Amino acid sequence: METTIETKQKIQLVDGSFTPSEACDVITALIDEKINFHKLQRISWCEGDRDANTKYPDERILELEKEKVIAKEFINSLRNEGKRLRIDGILKISLEE
């Protein structure tokens, strides 16, 4: 009997139409969670090793903060137009080769 292991998965995190305020809240919350992940990662790496190399999480936090500002600016530019925003956020998971 042969066993097949699924090596890819998709998770639909966000799928919908949002007002600019709702879209801003959703995007900000998702980015903030990822920032918090990297902050905790940095703390974990530094436990027991004050000189740990935290370059990756430090840089990633800065990148995400910039992306959050860009997203907010984009959404704010559309607030007065009375339009809704469509967000389709799929998380793709696969095994590294």
Angle of the 20-46 helix axis to the 55-78 helix axis, nearest 10: 170
User: Looking at per-residue confidence, does 24 or 79 come out higher?
Assistant: 24
Provide φ and ψ at 43, rounded to 5°: -60, -45
- Residue 89's identity, in one-letter code, is G
- Whether pLDDT at 51 is above 90: no
Give me the pLDDT at residue 24, please.
96
- Whether pLDDT at 80 is above 90: no
What is the tally of helices (H) and strands (E) in the chain? 2, 2
- Whether pLDDT at 45 is above 70: yes
Question: What is the rounded distance in angstroms from the CA atom of residue 95 to the CA atom of residue 8?
Answer: 7
pTM: predicted TM-score of the whole model, two decimal places: 0.83
Beta strands in the chain (DSSP E): 8-18, 85-94
Question: What is the rounded distance in angstroms from the CA atom of residue 97 to the CA atom of residue 81?
Answer: 46
- Whether pLDDT at 7 is above 80: no
Ranking 21-25, 52-56, 72-76 by mean pLDDT, the lowest is 52-56
